[in-house]
Structure 1
Amino acid sequence: MKTGILGIHGFTGGPYEIQPFVDYLKVHTNWEIVVPTLPGHGETLELKNLTAESWMMTAEQSLRQLQKEVDRVIIVGFSMGGIIAMYLANRYPIYKLVLLSAAAKYIYPAQLLQDIKDIAKEAVVGRLEENSLYKQYSYKVKGTPIPATLEFMRLVRIVQPYYGQITVPVYIVQGKKDGIVPYATAQFIYDEIGSLKKEIVYSESGKHHICYSEDCEDWYNSALKFLKEEEEEETTSN
């Protein structure tokens, strides 16, 4: 059985958001891995006049192409990509899902405020431009038209009624210090999704970009074990 991974990045992001996990999978498996860049995303943001459907369609086209090349597909979705992953799992025969900081709910004011306070401290000592968090927020705020943000929110609303129809095994990872998605979102997805086989892993130190968390190696290992369980059983039975 040939396994493929479809990775889907987040809103205003790019494949780099899940690259560390992709690199880990490349080292530890021989799976085919595809991570498309959604329209308007990547290193340069060009989000004007794009819709939720354009992002969903690109991911869907990548999935259909991958399905022609492998026997089964695992989808790894980060943030908005997690919502698109659930949309696809409801429409296509998917083997398993990995949802990373999935944006079923978004903007956690308390942590966002703390992040901004950290930026302010850097500004006082003259290191503001060096602060990666500042650069991240500053660029995304400047490069994100309001209509695009509304399309992201609309996408979340489109998919939410169908969580209960998703039955594939799902592995959920959420950082407790996420400044974009409140960490309680993971439990919300766990409760709503129809899958019988499902796990949640919390990163105590993890922020939104969970693939860059200090403890990411821990959940990388357990995620891979979750994804390979049946594969190992098949090898043993043969």
Structure 2
Amino acid sequence: MSVMRGAEPFLLPGSGQGVLLVHGFTGSPAEMKLLGEYLHGLGYTVLGVRLCGHGTHVRDMNPTTWPYWYGAVEDGYHLLKGLCKEISVIGLSMGGLLSLKLSVEYPVAKVAALSAPIYLYERRLPLLPIYRLFRNYIPKKRKRFADIDPLYSVGYDHTPLKSLESLLAFIKHVDKLLPLVNVPAFVAQSRIEHTVRPESASHIYDRIASVDKQLCWLEKSGHIITLDVERQQLFEELKQFLEK
């Protein structure tokens, strides 16, 4: 099993303030690296984890389910805990859900969920049991970003259907945990993306119990907001959130 070029986990040593970065479903640590480099430039120790089954070949992902993905986040947390006094966690898409769960179950200073799914646009979901009868994967389009190196957007161009079923179960699992989230929280989403419905962000924001919470809307970006045209605005908002 070889890791795709650009999909490696990364550790950027800095201060005793740590930030754990968690990528999304079928993605890789690459989609979090620009944010990681930005936060490292501010002095943070940053760890970008690679979730099980990701960043190699899509066939490696098909046998994995959400407990495997969450286990990788737990491993990253424990590694970072050995280096830092305090840890905040930021996750993109499914990584946002994993981050919210982590904030309930471990001592986390702050949590940020970016483009985290509760409601999806995917119209084929009701047909998933039928698709699963005769195929293991369905193709997906990965957006290309003209102004950044392709190594920052490494991921799969197919979705493993067994793993997708587990993601849907995980969404329901985390939705039940949202009232237990009580650390300072940052929720961000684009209003115009076509993967996660924008009411997902409002739902998460309304359901979490955090007194200190912030909802950030972007107006021009797609689903991968860590790489899209408003990424600098997002990074600056996250900087303010982490520093306050």
The TM-score, its normalising length taken from structure 1, stands at: 0.80
Deviation, structure 1 residue 43: 5.1
Q: What pairs with 1:89-108 in structure 2 (closer than 5 Å)?
A: 89-107=103-121
Corresponding letter in the other structure for 2:224:
H
Q: In structure 2, what is the equivalent of residue 20 of structure 1?
A: 34
Q: In structure 1, what is the equivalent of residue 157 of structure 2?
A: 140
Gaps of 5+ in 2: 1-14, 124-140, 146-152
Superposed CA deviations along residues 70-111 of structure 1, whole A, max 9, x for unmatched, are 1110101000000000111010110001111011222266xx
Q: Please say if 1:156 is aligned against 2:174.
A: no
Q: Please say if 1:171 is aligned against 2:186.
A: yes
Q: What pairs with 1:3-152 in structure 2 (closer than 5 Å)?
A: 3-27=17-41, 29-42=42-55, 44-45=57-58, 46-107=60-121, 132=144, 140-141=157-158, 144-152=159-167
Corresponding letter in the other structure for 2:64:
L
Greater percentage in helix: 1
Corresponding letter in the other structure for 1:75:
V
Deviation, structure 1 residue 55: 0.5
Corresponding letter in the other structure for 1:208:
H
Gaps of 5+ in 1: 110-128, 230-238
Superposed CA deviations along residues 174-231 of structure 1, whole A, max 9, x for unmatched, are 01121111112111100001101011111100110101221221221121011011xx
Alignment check: 8 A CA contact 1:166 1:193 kept: yes
Deviation, structure 1 residue 139: 5.2
Q: Distance in 1 between matches of 2:214 and 2:64?
A: 34
Q: Secondary structure at the match of 2:74?
A: helix
Q: Distance in 1 between matches of 2:233 and 2:71?
A: 33
Q: Deviation above 3 Å: which 4+ runs of structure 1?
A: none
Alignment check: 8 A CA contact 2:63 2:163 kept: yes
Corresponding letter in the other structure for 1:106:
L
Q: Please say if 1:190 is aligned against 2:213.
A: no
Q: Secondary structure at the match of 1:70?
A: coil
Higher mean C-alpha displacement, 144-153 vs 39-48 = 39-48
Q: Distance in 2 between matches of 1:80 and 1:139?
A: 15
Q: Distance in 2 between matches of 1:224 and 1:132?
A: 26
Report which of the two structures shows the higher radius of gyration computed on alpha carbons. 1
The TM-score, its normalising length taken from structure 2, stands at: 0.78
Q: In structure 2, what is the equivalent of residue 218 of structure 1?
A: 233
Q: Secondary structure at the match of 1:35?
A: strand
Q: Distance in 1 between matches of 2:216 and 2:173?
A: 26
Q: Secondary structure at the match of 1:85?
A: helix
